[in-house]
Structure 1
Amino acid sequence: MQVACLSDLLLHAPQQWAERELLGSRGRHGWEWLGHAETVRRVLRVARWMHSVGIRHGDRVGILGHNSPQWCIADFAILHIGAVTVPAYFTDPPEAVRFVFEDAGCKLILVEPGEQQSKLDASKVPVFCLRGEEGITLHKISSNAMFDIPCDLPAVGRGDLATLIYTSGTTGEPKGVMLTHGNMLSDVAAGLGGIPVYESDTFLSFLPVSHAFERTVGHFLPVACGAGIAYAEDVTTLLRDIPEVRPTVMISVPRLYEKIYAGVQDKLMHAPRIKQKLFASAQQLGLKRFESRLEGDDLHGMDAFRFRILDHLVHARIRAKMGGRLRLFVSGGAALHPDIARFLLAAGLPVCPGYGLSETSPVLTVNPERRIKPETVGPALPGVQLRLADDGELLARGEMVMQGYWHRPEETSAVLEADGWLHTGDIAEMDSEGYVRIVDRKKELLVLSNGEKVPPARVEKRLAIDPVILQVMVIGDQRPYLTALVVADEGGLGRHWQKEKGRELPSDWRQNKAVKGWLLERMHAACDVLPSYMQVRNFVFVDSEWTQASGMLTPTLKFKRRSIMQRHQADIDAVYAAGEKA
């Protein structure tokens, strides 16, 4: 990809894309789209305005708001003048937002009006709204022809700092990851070599674009190939937005796929046996077809005939709920359970699990569309070097690796070696074809008091597939055995209990010994292939779901383990105390 900086992806695009729909959002009368040429005009106007108010090469500019065309326009404008985009998460509380912008030393902040704007009431730097009716807003500036007059702007190169992406802080204070134009352009180029996207595609963007995963794969990548991007209003509006937008590509963390799977399983539980058998047969043949195609073959004879009928009766309905045009899911941010991947693949919804981290711009590996191994996160993308350290930690090297952490040289040197190898912090395995399987986070590895090492994600992934469990976190570091904190899906719990026991769920189910014993048996069954020391011996139901708003999840829905443990420390102590008395 021969472009000098990220804004060139948009500004130097082929002329034939000029009238193509690029950015879509819900308006008063349905979905409204900005064409490619109009988006370019708006980006240049905003860039010239920012230059006119004193923003210069290397200055940091903050953005706070939900995904939107204005967010995209602001980002490209900032990058075009050589300034540095500093995104903050709209899910973060005011103190976390202030920390990011103050730590980065932002000279200007662009913010969504309303709740997000109120987080910056005490800001000491100029704040302008992305849109709105009052005052100077980015939307008004981008529509004002007075900013069509060109101005002298400095050249921006691949070595210039493009963005500071603050890590979500699962284990401590957030750090600003320094990524240059070259870092991110190399990952976009690698992504185009590993993820099959085309100018005819439509992306539906709903993960926070402030996160590196969405920023690269759902923001820069579609712009680079001329695809359209529709912005969901919120993750809560997805079920409404998907059939309206009818996307062809969606980028998501595993939680979306888990909900799709759980929804189907829940409906099956109440379906007649004939429908359950039809679904099982459709899945079996769908998976057989997928595996045959991996080998360059297909179904034949009676299998092909049965597949067409069952696919029409079963899987076509699932695809219709996803808009009917979806041809690719890209999964990242956390491990996707192989059973869920196989369910989607059998249903004709190709899902390509991948892996990366903010420090690598972020994507390092992804499963090729026609060579998917569901239990892995795929092989290295073009230009990425991977190797395993003696302790199993995955190391990465390539142009996409960060420059370091903003104003944190000691923390930088702790993860980035002089010869360019980055310590990812993940324990991994690689097969003979270079496909990577992530075992767990190195820092999150639980060491039981008997010395046995437990990767919690390996256990949690098996437990979380149970439709009665909404969230589960395993505990056990320096303890004699594993326990767990469980957020139950009360509706699913009640339905499964009634089906198996023939009576309603007791009102005191959180403390009820029979209910807890029944669920513990299900948990043991889910982990029966794991060593005995990886079996959960006891658990406690917690009262409420862990969310981003409560500070328990990162923007990509990973557990903030330290925060969760602090909140439930009394429950943890009590469940171990009960075990000692038993």
Structure 2
Amino acid sequence: MVFGDCTVPRCRGLEQAEKATSLSDLLFESPDAWLNRPLLRFRNPNGSWTRLSRAEVQQAVLRVGAWLESKGVKAGDRVALLGHNCPEWFIADFAILRMGAVTVPAYFTDPPEAVQYVINDADVSAIFVEEGEQLEKLQGVNLPLLAFHGAENSVAAIGRDKRWDGALTSPAPERSALATLIYTSGTTGHPKGVMLTHDNLLTDVAAALGGVAVFEDDLFLSFLPTSHSFERTVGHFLPTACGSEIAYAEAVTTLLRDMPDVKPTIMISVPRLYEKIYAGVQTKLAEGPPIKRKLFALAQKLGMERFELKQKGGELGSIKALLWNILDKIVNAKLREKMGGRIRGFISGGAALHPDIARFLLAADIPVLPGYGLTETSPVLSCNRYGAIKPETVGPALPSVEFRVAADGELLVKGPMVMQGYWRKPEATAEVLDRDGWLHTGDIVEVDADGYIKIVDRKKEIMVLSNGENVPPAVIEQHLVQSPAILQAMVVADNRPDVVALVVPEIEGFKRLWQSAMNAPLPDNWQQDARVHGWMLEEMHNKEHDLSSFMQVKRFAFVEKEWTQNDGLLTPTLKLKRRRITELYADMIEGLYPKER
């Protein structure tokens, strides 16, 4: 597909998803021509890459499925999966699905108590687990375990062992059968197991492909946890349906090395990746000569004009086109090369992408398609289309998705991808799922005349100042993290007189920005320095310039330690766990509200 073409051709993967009777059909009921094509790619310890063909993966899945049967696992039983993205995760998942059991992914970033809560709540019968740290989380668990790797008894070894050939006897499940329990991130309280059937997920794969076509020659680079519904549907099931190849990044920290190596055409990511790319560019511009900043600004202006014209089917005039080609080579080409040079689409989800960051990428001829969904909806509900991108939105509804906006602005959704409910929690299910099938998303939205959705904030996270003004925290935080000096930010405002923030500085970016602005080194005690605080507040206000005055941060405090998943302060899709952060920094927050106010 050419960027700028708003038509969505009917790709072969869409046919695969529509005709499949179970998720395992996406792997097994595929054209013979795909059998010898590479399906999975992974990096070896020596730095080289190994590819597995579809036929090899099919054989491994059937053998591992037979191992499950040998342990007494039967259709409908729950089987847990704990580990980083890799071919063994893929093989174990499809083995579970093929023999009619239910996959229960656990997050590898979760502590032992959270992992064991999921295992106990789902009442699992067996566990596939990565060696080392992940295996240690299962101490005291008395269930059949199969490690990912190892000499004899592992997913990798059994997947190669011909002695298991022909041993699997379970028939493939029907579309209506339960396929997976995906536990919600648990920003408050215990997570809930979202029940999704084969039909829910197959329908969502088809809906996604009805909005954004994917082809046999596409190459995905996988780095978001496959245990999360976004990566599992769009970066796991969808490319399998399309005959595409999936390459596994070694880690999030190796992306800058893996992207040029793999040269992906499609990547699935949450906004944090794009925010870091943007912040990195801004930092380099701040420390570079003025001419570099002027060329960048001109390239962005002309690039956005080009993008908007192409949206309408037009092109730049000959003089501007020539200037664009020159600026593109000088300014944008190196950035695209760092991403592998072949990106056909960044699909953004998990949270709203700030429109300025989307425009920055689009102006650099890097296609980014903001979308939206929930674990409870398998998950994708909407996505921008090539040639019809509105950066401030998450796009229109995908095929088979119905949207309705409640009186208070909450988005309601209906469609065959909506969950069956929460595992063994009928009361919690009734709170969000109406009897007539409408799911209450909890997101406050605005809808334009073309049906494009703009996410305002989470209904439960809207904060109300003591004067009655409504404050959407995520909107403010999106503005703040555009600064190269800010790594993370969380605002506080509920029942307070004004907005304050906790700020995790990006140390190197902070130093460079200060040096550029003040022409002086950063003071040794800069976290307490009044001049630095005044300068930082001004930088924050510059980023908030388009927000109402009551939404702008009035005071802030520096937080020295980055918030991570490992310390329980971020969800797997890198959203803030606000309650946990608020509790941890309660004294610091109180100090931001002087007693005399």
Instruction: State the SS of the aligned residue for 1:377.
Output: coil
- Larger displacement relative to structure 2 (205-214 or 488-497): 488-497
Letter in 2 for 1:102: N
CA shift, 1:231, in A, is 0.5
Question: What does 1:362-401 correspond to in 2, within 5 Å?
Answer: 362-401=379-418
Unaligned runs of 5+ in 2: 1-17
The answer (yes or no) to whether the contact 2:24–2:172 under 8 Å persists in 1 is no
> Given the superposition, is the C-alpha separation of residues 57 and 300 from structure 1 closer, same or farther in structure 2, using an over 3 Å criterion?
same
- Larger displacement relative to structure 2 (497-506 or 426-435): 497-506
The answer (yes or no) to whether the contact 2:287–2:516 under 8 Å persists in 1 is no
Mapped to 1, the partners of 2:181 and 2:486 lie a distance apart of: 36
2:298 — aligned with what?
281
**1:551 and 2:530 aligned:** no
2:105 — aligned with what?
87
**1:223 and 2:240 aligned:** yes
Mapped to 2, the partners of 1:115 and 1:272 lie a distance apart of: 46
- Larger displacement relative to structure 2 (514-523 or 332-341): 514-523
> Given the superposition, is the C-alpha separation of residues 2 and 125 from structure 1 closer, same or farther in structure 2, using an over 3 Å criterion?
same
CA shift, 1:172, in A, is 1.9
Mapped to 1, the partners of 2:538 and 2:126 lie a distance apart of: 56
CA shift, 1:486, in A, is 0.6
Q: 248, 252, 255: which is aligned to 1:235?
A: 252
Instruction: State the SS of the aligned residue for 1:73.
Output: helix
Q: 470, 474, 484: which is aligned to 1:457?
A: 474
2:579 — aligned with what?
562
CA shift, 1:300, in A, is 1.8
**1:308 and 2:325 aligned:** yes
Q: 127, 133, 146: which is aligned to 2:145?
A: 127
Letter in 1 for 2:68: M
CA RMSD of aligned residues (A): 1.1
1:12 — aligned with what?
29
Mapped to 2, the partners of 1:469 and 1:275 lie a distance apart of: 22
Mapped to 1, the partners of 2:166 and 2:54 lie a distance apart of: 20
Question: What does 1:17-56 correspond to in 2, within 5 Å?
Answer: 17-29=34-46, 30-56=48-74
**1:251 and 2:268 aligned:** yes
Question: What does 1:70-85 correspond to in 2, within 5 Å?
Answer: 70-85=88-103
Mapped to 1, the partners of 2:157 and 2:591 lie a distance apart of: 57
Q: Which has the higher contact order (CA 8 A, sep 6+)?
A: 2
Instruction: State the SS of the aligned residue for 1:208.
Output: coil
CA shift, 1:138, in A, is 1.1
**1:268 and 2:285 aligned:** yes
CA deviation map 1:171-220 (0-9, x unaligned): 22100000000000000000111122111000000000000000000000
Letter in 1 for 2:253: T
The answer (yes or no) to whether the contact 2:263–2:343 under 8 Å persists in 1 is yes
**1:580 and 2:566 aligned:** no
**1:136 and 2:148 aligned:** no
CA deviation map 1:280-306 (0-9, x unaligned): 221111111111000011112101111
Letter in 2 for 1:455: P
Mapped to 2, the partners of 1:112 and 1:89 lie a distance apart of: 12
1:491 — aligned with what?
508
The answer (yes or no) to whether the contact 1:196–1:369 under 8 Å persists in 2 is no
Mapped to 2, the partners of 1:28 and 1:513 lie a distance apart of: 49
Mapped to 1, the partners of 2:543 and 2:197 lie a distance apart of: 44
Q: 346, 352, 355: which is aligned to 1:329?
A: 346
Letter in 2 for 1:17: W
Mapped to 2, the partners of 1:200 and 1:36 lie a distance apart of: 14
Aligned length: 579
Letter in 1 for 2:128: L
**1:357 and 2:380 aligned:** no
Mapped to 2, the partners of 1:17 and 1:227 lie a distance apart of: 9
Question: What does 1:512-531 correspond to in 2, within 5 Å?
Answer: 512-531=529-548
The answer (yes or no) to whether the contact 1:57–1:154 under 8 Å persists in 2 is no
Mapped to 1, the partners of 2:517 and 2:356 lie a distance apart of: 23
Q: 56, 75, 85: which is aligned to 1:57?
A: 75
- TM-score, scaled to structure 1: 0.98
Mapped to 2, the partners of 1:28 and 1:495 lie a distance apart of: 36
Mapped to 1, the partners of 2:486 and 2:142 lie a distance apart of: 45
Mapped to 2, the partners of 1:343 and 1:571 lie a distance apart of: 35
- Larger displacement relative to structure 2 (556-565 or 524-533): 524-533
CA shift, 1:39, in A, is 0.7
- TM-score, scaled to structure 2: 0.96
1:210 — aligned with what?
227
CA shift, 1:159, in A, is 0.8
CA shift, 1:312, in A, is 1.4
Question: What does 1:374-453 correspond to in 2, within 5 Å?
Answer: 374-453=391-470
Question: What does 1:100-249 correspond to in 2, within 5 Å?
Answer: 100-133=118-151, 136-249=153-266
Mapped to 1, the partners of 2:139 and 2:147 lie a distance apart of: 12
Mapped to 2, the partners of 1:369 and 1:93 lie a distance apart of: 40
Mapped to 2, the partners of 1:130 and 1:526 lie a distance apart of: 46
CA shift, 1:155, in A, is 4.1
Where in structure 1 do 4 or more consecutive aligned residues deviate above 3 Å?
A: none
Instruction: State the SS of the aligned residue for 1:443.
Output: helix
Mapped to 2, the partners of 1:18 and 1:459 lie a distance apart of: 49
CA shift, 1:150, in A, is 4.4
Instruction: State the SS of the aligned residue for 2:475.
Output: helix
2:486 — aligned with what?
469
Mapped to 1, the partners of 2:63 and 2:387 lie a distance apart of: 43
CA shift, 1:42, in A, is 0.7
CA shift, 1:275, in A, is 2.0
**1:66 and 2:84 aligned:** yes
Mapped to 2, the partners of 1:332 and 1:172 lie a distance apart of: 23
Instruction: State the SS of the aligned residue for 2:460.
Output: coil
The answer (yes or no) to whether the contact 2:287–2:513 under 8 Å persists in 1 is no
The answer (yes or no) to whether the contact 2:402–2:413 under 8 Å persists in 1 is yes
Mapped to 2, the partners of 1:28 and 1:212 lie a distance apart of: 29
1:96 — aligned with what?
114
- Larger displacement relative to structure 2 (417-426 or 41-50): 41-50
The answer (yes or no) to whether the contact 2:207–2:400 under 8 Å persists in 1 is yes
Q: 287, 290, 296: which is aligned to 2:313?
A: 296
